[in-house]
């Protein structure tokens, strides 16, 4: 079993209320049971919701209490992000998950990059950082897609 950001599977959980089309480049290469998670929803935030950003550093700093998460109206949503990360980790532990594919650039799920001031910057999201700390291998959705394209480029 593998944990997957729910938005990658086409579920309506993105902050703006839209759904990504299920990305066949992700779903088409995973030959095991996928467990969808949306840490922001699981933390109690609605869909749609205002976009949020980690104020300083990245998800590790939020976990350490050094930084926080605020939405575009300036409301502190750190508690919801931490709760959602803990719920995602609980689900992973219950299911015996050892790997996760997370949506890049998200303040919850970003693995290599998060977004701040509408720019992609290096860093991990809150849930991705907690999963990694717990020993779960966290892989960027972008990396999965890049590997897929590289492997299947002759199909273009």
Query: How confident is the model over 93-126, as pLDDT tens digits?
Result: 999 999 999 999 999 999 999 999 999 999 999 9
Query: How confident is the model over 42-101, as pLDDT tens digits?
Result: 999 999 999 999 999 999 999 999 999 999 999 999 999 999 999 999 999 999 999 999
Give the residue from 97, 88, 121, 93 showing the smallest Cα distance to 107: 121
Strand boundaries in the chain, DSSP class E? 2-5, 34-37, 52-54, 69-71, 99-102, 113-116, 119-122, 137-140
- What letter would DSSP give residue 153? G
**Distance (Å, whole) CA 14 – CA 41:** 9
């Amino acid at each position: 079993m593998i944990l997957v950001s729910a938005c990658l599977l086409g579920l309506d959980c993105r902050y703006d209320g839209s759904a990504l089309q299920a990305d066949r480049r992700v779903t088409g290469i995973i030959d095991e049971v996928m467990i969808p998670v949306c840490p922001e929803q699981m933390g109690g935030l609605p869909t749609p919701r205002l976009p949020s950003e980690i104020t300083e550093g990245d998800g590790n700093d939020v976990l350490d209490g050094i930084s926080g998460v605020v939405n575009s109206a300036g409301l502190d949503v750190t508690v919801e992000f931490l709760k959602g990360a803990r719920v995602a980790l609980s689900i992973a532990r219950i299911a015996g998950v050892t790997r996760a594919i997370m949506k890049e650039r998200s303040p919850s799920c970003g693995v290599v990059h998060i977004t701040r001031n509408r720019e992609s910057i290096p860093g991990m999201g809150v849930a991705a950082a907690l999963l990694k700390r717990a020993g779960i291998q966290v892989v960027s959705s972008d990396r999965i897609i890049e590997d897929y394209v590289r492997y299947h480029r002759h199909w273009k």
